[in-house]
Amino acid sequence: MTLEGAAPDRSPPGPCVERPVRYGVIGTGMMGIEHIGNLNALPGAVVTAVADPYPESLAAGMAAADSDIEARRDHPVLGFEDLRDLLAADMCDAYVIVTPNHTHADVVDQVMQTEKPFLLEKPMAITVEQCQQIVDRAAGYPGPIWIGLEYRYMAPVRRLLAELEAGTAGRVHMVAIREHRFPFLPKVGNWNRFSANTGGTLVEKCCHFFDLMTLIAGSRPRRVYATGAQSVNHRHEIYDGRPSDMIDNALVVVDYDNGVRGSLDLCMFAEASRNQEEISVVGDRAKVEALVPDDVVRIGVRGMHGLGEVDEITVKSEAAHLGQHHGSSYVEHQRFLDVIRTGGEPEVTVRDGLLSVAMGVAAHRSIDEGRPVDMSELGATFVEP
């Protein structure tokens, strides 16, 4: 429409600007704040709602979302103590679930009623049965579901995966992952001090590494053997009469159907370390390693390099927000946003989430019963990658 007395505007139309995808972040503890920071830094994304039943956590989530001043001009953020109120408000295009592990199954059930895309933080749930139920429901779900196993997107790990894809290592035979780190941090209500809430240390913490191990092996895990204990951390902590039961060290060995062998070395009282994560992959042509946070990839080729003569490559993240996970959560959100916009398939699927939890459950059973555990014992539907 032309205003009276004004010449008609015959200039070419400006570029089409896509409306930002509006996110609701469910759970605004430490990891919820981490996700908000990444979404604030991501072009095309805006946090419009947060939910948490704890007033202090909710206030922290509101403050984190409000720090994105540019977005607030058109998209004020609202806070909800009750998840049901957030979902009923219908003011989000996608959700990020970052609640305590033992609440995941119930929260997912509620969010699925919206039929909207969502990213579910690891672990997918705390039991194989709960994970299987999510997998079964996801089969007919109209929106993409992404499982938050962001260690895949750390810059050195991405380079390691690219080298393996290019055939640098040749045929992979062994995958060894070491995490030597600090103890579990305090959480609201101390929920992470109990296996009943977390699924156990090898589910809560190590689902990341079982996911990477399986991705690299390219096969189905067949058998798991583990030994571990609560040797140092939280041994004298008692809450409401219950002692903490989270193990703080373990060694896990995994046999895969294709003959690949994987191992995990976890120690949570080894914060005095140069690197927190060391991932080593050995094939018949070469050994490829990724070190975090040194941000280094090492490649040693058989017949070319001798001991101590490997190539060392520095690989730094170029993510706009590094956060607590070396930029990996930002890359994860970039790719999830692309899936939301294009209707593509998630790179980290509910099947990946199920497998990573099931391997942790099998490892805990192996520790408890002192025997190897066959994955077929767990009663889940496993298919080849």
Domains of the chain, start order: 21-149 (3.40.50.720), 152-317+349-378 (3.30.360.10)
Predicted confidence (pLDDT) per residue in 259-302, tens digit: 999 999 999 999 999 999 999 999 999 999 999 999 999 999 99
Q: Mean per-residue pLDDT for 368-377?
A: 97
69 — pLDDT class (breaks 50, 70, 90): low
Q: What's the confidence (pLDDT) of residue 235?
A: 94
Q: What's the confidence (pLDDT) of residue 379?
A: 84
Q: What's the confidence (pLDDT) of residue 75?
A: 80
pLDDT greater than 70 at residue 6: no
- The share of the chain scoring above pLDDT 70, in percent, equals 93
Q: Mean per-residue pLDDT for 114-133?
A: 97
Mean pLDDT of the residues in the chain:
93
pLDDT greater than 70 at residue 8: no
What does the angle CA 338 – CA 342 – CA 346 come to, to the nearest 5 degrees? Answer: 60
Q: What's the confidence (pLDDT) of residue 72?
A: 61
Q: What's the confidence (pLDDT) of residue 18?
A: 77
7 — pLDDT class (breaks 50, 70, 90): very low
pLDDT greater than 70 at residue 238: yes
71 — pLDDT class (breaks 50, 70, 90): low
Q: What's the confidence (pLDDT) of residue 2?
A: 25
Instruction: Give φ, ψ of 44 to 5 degrees.
Output: 90, 5
Q: Mean per-residue pLDDT for 58-74?
A: 82
Q: What's the confidence (pLDDT) of residue 11?
A: 36
Q: Mean per-residue pLDDT for 326-352?
A: 96
